[in-house]
Amino acid sequence: MNNTSCSSLAALEDSGAQFVYNDTESILEKILDVNAEYDDKGMPEGTVTVKPVAWNDSFEVDAEDFDTDLHNNIRNVIDPSVIENAEQILINLGLNNLIEDKRVLGPAHDYNLQHGDVDEVTEVRDLLAVEQIYQADAVAE
């Protein structure tokens, strides 16, 4: 029986994950390359190349440090379906929050939405109207 421990990085590679969330930096990172060899204890030696999604540049991280970050939940694997369905997840989150705002705050409660030129959203009822228009448009498509 093999008594070597499997590293978190090896498990990440096996899962085919492409993104990690870096809790220290509060950023989503795309994994561009894993260039690591594993010693007889399953510890990685080499580098991991990551690119923060919102940045232009990529950088290399020591594979053992990256593995430690994964093990200590400093970097967390993001399921590919989360990335693929990001827009719908945000829409669902918004709709759920809207329902909660209506229930807790009431439709006449002041609401300050910062969204470019849209400064007409001043109350929860404005968001309720937007939600109904959005739903109607989605059904019409």
Report how many domains make up the chain: 2
* Residue indicated by tokens 């910062």: 114
Domain presence at residue 135: yes
pTM summary value:
0.66
DSSP state of 123: B
56 and 97 inside one domain: no
Are residues 123 and 107 in contact, defined by beta-carbon separation less than 8 angstroms?
A: yes
Strand partners, 59: 50
Give 42-92 pLDDT, tens digit per residue.
Answer: 889 999 999 998 888 999 999 999 999 999 999 998 888 888 888 888 788
Domain presence at residue 3: no
Give 84-137 pLDDT, tens digit per residue.
Answer: 888 888 788 888 888 888 888 887 777 766 555 556 666 777 777 777 677 767
Domain presence at residue 136: yes
Sheet order of strands, 75-78 included: 59-62, 44-52, 27-38, 19-22, 75-78
65 and 33 inside one domain: yes
Domain presence at residue 1: no
73 and 111 inside one domain: no
49 and 106 inside one domain: no
- Planar angle of CA 105, 120, 114, nearest 5 degrees: 75
14 and 73 inside one domain: yes
Domain presence at residue 68: yes
Complete DSSP assignment for 15-39: HT--EEEETTTTEEEEEEEEEEEE-
26 and 67 inside one domain: yes
Domain of 115 in residue numbering reads as 85-140
> What end-to-end distance do the CA atoms of the chain give, in Å?
58
72 and 18 inside one domain: yes
